[in-house]
Amino acid sequence: MTFNFAKNAGRILGYAGAVLTLSATTALADWPEKAVTLVVPWSAGGGTDATARAVAEGLEARFGQPFNVVNRTGGGGLVGHTAIVQGKPDGYTLGVITIESAMYALQGLPGVTPEDFTYIGRFNADPIAVNVRADAPYDDVQGLVEAVKSDPSALAASGANRGGLSHLAWVGLLSAVDIDPAQINWVASDGSAPALQQLASGAIEVVSTSPAEARALVEAGEAKTLALISGERSSLYPDLPTTDESFGIEWSPLPFRGLAGPKDMPADVTEKVSIALKEITEDPEFLEMMSSRGFSVAYQDAATFSQTVHTAGSSLGVAMKAAGLGQ
Amino acid sequence: MMSFEVLMQALGNVMQLGVLTAIFLGASYGLFVGALPGLTATMATALLVPVTFYLDPLPAVALIVSSTAMAITAGDIPGALLRIPGTPASAAYTDEAYAMTRKGKASEVLSLGFFFSAIGGLVGAMVLLITGPLLARVSLNFSSFEFFWLACLGLLTCALVSSSTPAKGGVSLTLGLLVSTVGLDITTGQPRFTFGSVELFGGISFIPVMIGMFAVSEVLRGFSGRAEVIPHPPKGEVYHPYRGMFSLVKRYPLSILRGTSLGAAIGALPGVGGDLAAWIAYGVSRRFSRTPEKFGTGHPEGLIEATSSNNSGLSSAWIPALVFGIPGDAVTAIAVGVLFMKGVAPGPRLFVENPSMPTAIILCFFLANLLLFPLGYIAIKAARHVLSVPRAVIVPMILVCCFIGSFAVNNTMFGVWTMLIAGVIGYVMERNQYPIAPVILGLVLGPVLERNFIMSMQISHGDLLGFFERPVSAVLGLIVCSIVILTLVRSLMRKPKLTIPEVVASDISLPTKGSSK
């Protein structure tokens, strides 16, 4: 049987819509009638895992079904993000996604693009900060940038893999103040812990990572945090200046954590979870847990979150091109 | 360093019913999880995280401390009885322990494991109590240059010292190193040897490989009729746990001293410490032993040194985590997370403002290691029943545990397939007398070696002399280079006993024309 696509498109869409609505209504009536899997693309014990478990606990209390946190790690989060994308869009496979989800496609890695998710809501966003050794000869970020300007390859910086968010944040900052990113010396590390170890041992000069992770070293008098690479000051670190105010630029690469599911999830399930997530982010117990670990709470609803991810994707794409990594 | 007052205050905090209960429950739980073949200490800790939500800071940490100390030690039980190592560290001496079991000395090898682990743990905790913050400061001076040399040292001791056939050990090690390159490369963010499979992007985890190579290959050997039958414990005879341990203490005091101090020193280095200590300790023990030829045949000397270094390294891994918030392994990363969540931020301020807290944590280690004696006693008593189970029953049970363990690594069937394939490869390797333990070390140290090499090269702008510019790095580098050169010189000086048989051209199968396309 052959048929004209254009002629029948409306009808097909109608059927598809009916099927979707049907599945949506069943979901509305019953969801969740069994345990929900919450995929976390990062390892147990890390920040994403801890916040995910707190969110899962809140969802469990609100929906009366277990929300099982499953860590699917590896490949810089790609394995877990792929697991979320490839889940059945029935509301029983959800996941906590991070900004990396918007970066894989830019790096030329297959399987995950910002279009592959149903966005539910964001619950956390923390800026990256510029950290240097405590005995470094500059007291503010302007001094550091001047030093980089005079000899871009002399200062080694680290914080993540090449093309990781830490790297892009640093590259984006430098290219915004007219330093050729191709000349800077980025030392690829496996996350912030080894980078901070390198900083403390005096092997490198700059680490770009969240102020929460550098906190212990700063308190030990081994390191100092100069500024946040962000557009607005953080309520947790009100004294830290931002690079936007220091240089009059606009560069705000905000790492986030949010709930999402596979593409084409029933809209009512998404809405239910989104509302529950909003309630959780207003729960005093959750707020206390987040602030004790140095994480800020920053809720966004499904539509805004989706927009945030897409915007982040395009602006990071620009930074990647600047770093010579764009595909 | 630690005032008497603080010590008393910490002791008072630990001697609370809640904390003591947490230590006891954590230890029992750790014993159970660790003794199950295929389940690791890291997994035991991760499963505890949700429980800690409901506890006060000290009981929460006490729970983690005691369960890991116990799980790592109990992981030696399946290692000794069934040849399934519990951690990459215990893979260093699993073969030795299993060899003792095959000689009918199951009770002795288990007693030895628990006894010397406990001794190592107790001494390690003492060392920490005295030198903790100092040790942390020293460990903070290690950069990628030093870590690179340390990784080299670990690989060398494994290939040249621990193995009776260095060449074959080297081949196994290289295989492990090569497999470790699979996955996303952190430097360029590019996938290597992934063949488009998303699962392979995450690389090949050493846990399913370890389970497969040791346990599954052993099961396969059983089917092929090549397995040596483990002697059943004689009926009616009662096991006497810890019998003869004090005479071992008297015979090998130097091994205990070296093992514990090596463990405490290497364990404090974030990132490489925990996994390396036992390998280096085993290698050092063999090198300085009066009877190195007995190693690998079920000889207690190396076991004593390696197992005591394992537990003493365990507690010192907490020091950089507590003082500078730099976790060295998965377990301490989880613990740092739990501490943060409890409002106890790791950092030097913790030592100044609330010094009884870190002291209390070290005391928890002390108590957990003391608990190893009684709980180990029960475990050893129970273990004889494992050996009396008929093979037809135990083999399927081993396989079920292997499946669960490798599935649980990342909750996918991919881990199970990895385990099965590794099992077949392990079987083939062992039939041809290639040791399998070096594969595991290669797999664990491969990323450490590569990352630190690349980081160092990026820092020094590609100048290899950068590896000798920092003082500690230069010393370590000289040690590594001299071991390599001495070994080479020695093998060149030695007159070859056998002339190498001439290679006959027909032995080499050349690809025929047209077959390659």
Dump the DSSP string for B323-345: HHS---SHHHHHHHHHHHHTT--
Say whether B349 and A78 touch across the interface (CB within 8 A): no
Specify the pLDDT at position A227.
94
Alpha-carbon gap, residue B336 to B320, rounded angstroms: 11
Alpha-carbon gap, residue A320 to B6, rounded angstroms: 52
Break chain A into its structural domains and give their ranges. Answer: 31-125+255-322, 128-247
Q: Which value does ipTM take for this structure?
A: 0.76
Nearest to B325 by CA among A293, A46, A221, A217: A217
**Is the model's pLDDT at A22 over the cut of 70?**
no
How is residue B383 written in tokens?
């273990």
B200 phi and psi angles, rounded to 5 deg: -75, -15
A299 phi and psi angles, rounded to 5 deg: -80, 140
- In the stretch 284-313 of chain A, residues with CB closer than 8 A to chain B read 289, 292-294
Specify the pLDDT at position A23.
45
Nearest to B458 among A47, A109, A187 (CB): A187
- In the stretch 185-224 of chain A, residues with CB closer than 8 A to chain B read 185-190, 193-194, 196-198, 200-204, 213, 215-217, 219-222
Residues of B with CB below 8 A from A316's CB? none
Specify the pLDDT at position B195.
86
Specify the pLDDT at position B244.
73
Alpha-carbon gap, residue A39 to A58, rounded angstroms: 16
- CATH topology for the A31-125+255-322 domain: D-Maltodextrin-Binding Protein; domain 2 (3.40.190)
Q: Tell me if chain B has a CB within 8 Å of the CB of A316.
A: no
Specify the pLDDT at position B49.
72
User: Is B281 inside a domain boundary?
Assistant: yes
Share of chain A above pLDDT 90, in %: 46
Q: Tell me if chain B has a CB within 8 Å of the CB of A73.
A: yes
Query: Chain B residue closest to A68 (CA)?
Result: B50
Placement of tokens 């709470």 in the chain: A297
Specify the pLDDT at position B348.
66
**Better-predicted residue by pLDDT, A152 or B42:** A152
A27 pLDDT band, cuts 50/70/90, is very low
Placement of tokens 């996918």 in the chain: B412
A136 pLDDT band, cuts 50/70/90, is very high
**Is the model's pLDDT at A88 over the cut of 50?**
yes
- pTM confidence score: 0.77
Specify the pLDDT at position B233.
52
**Full pLDDT tens readout for chain B, 517 residues:** 457 778 888 888 888 888 899 999 999 998 888 887 767 777 777 778 767 767 888 888 889 888 888 888 888 888 888 888 777 777 888 888 888 888 877 788 888 888 888 888 888 888 878 877 777 777 778 888 988 988 888 888 777 655 667 788 889 889 999 999 998 787 777 788 888 787 888 788 887 888 888 888 888 887 776 555 555 554 444 566 777 777 777 788 888 888 888 888 888 777 666 677 888 888 888 878 777 777 877 788 888 888 888 888 887 778 777 777 776 677 777 777 777 767 677 766 677 667 788 888 888 888 988 998 888 888 888 877 776 777 777 788 888 888 887 887 777 889 899 999 999 999 999 888 888 888 888 888 888 888 889 999 999 988 899 899 898 899 999 988 988 888 788 778 775 555 444 444 444 444 444 333 3
- The pLDDT of A105-116, averaged and rounded, is 88
Report the 10 Å Cβ neighbour count for B70.
Answer: 33
Cβ(B281)–Cβ(B258) under 8 Å?
A: yes
Going through chain A in order, the beta strands assigned E by DSSP cover 36-40, 67-71, 93-98, 117-125, 128-133, 156-158, 185-187, 206-209, 223-229, 256-262, 300-301
pLDDT tens across A50-78, in order?
A: 889 889 989 999 999 889 888 888 777 88
A24 pLDDT band, cuts 50/70/90, is very low
Residues of B with CB below 8 A from A70's CB? 411
Q: How far is B333 from chain A (nearest CA, A)?
A: 6
Say whether A292 and B142 touch across the interface (CB within 8 A): no
Optimal mutation site among A81, A184, A190, A201, interface B, most CBs of chain B within 10 A: A201
Mean pLDDT of chain A: 85
Residues of A with CB below 8 A from B459's CB? 156, 185, 187, 198, 203-204
Nearest to B333 among A46, A109, A215 (CB): A46
Q: Which amino acid is at A295?
A: F
**Distance (Å) of CA B134 to CA B1, B140, B176, B268:** 9, 10, 35, 11
Query: Chain B residue closest to A204 (CA)?
Result: B459
Could you tell me which CATH number the domain at A128-247 has?
Answer: 3.40.190.10
Q: Residue B47: give the domain boundaries.
A: 4-490
Q: How far is B122 from chain A (nearest CA, A)?
A: 27
Optimal mutation site among B336, B410, B444, interface A, most CBs of chain A within 10 A: B410
B184: DSSP letter: E
B381 phi and psi angles, rounded to 5 deg: -60, -40
A133 pLDDT band, cuts 50/70/90, is very high
Residues of B with CB below 8 A from A292's CB? 340-343
Instruction: Please tell me the total count of domains within chain B.
Output: 1
**Better-predicted residue by pLDDT, A191 or A258:** A258
Length of chain B (residues): 517
- The pLDDT of A264-279, averaged and rounded, is 94
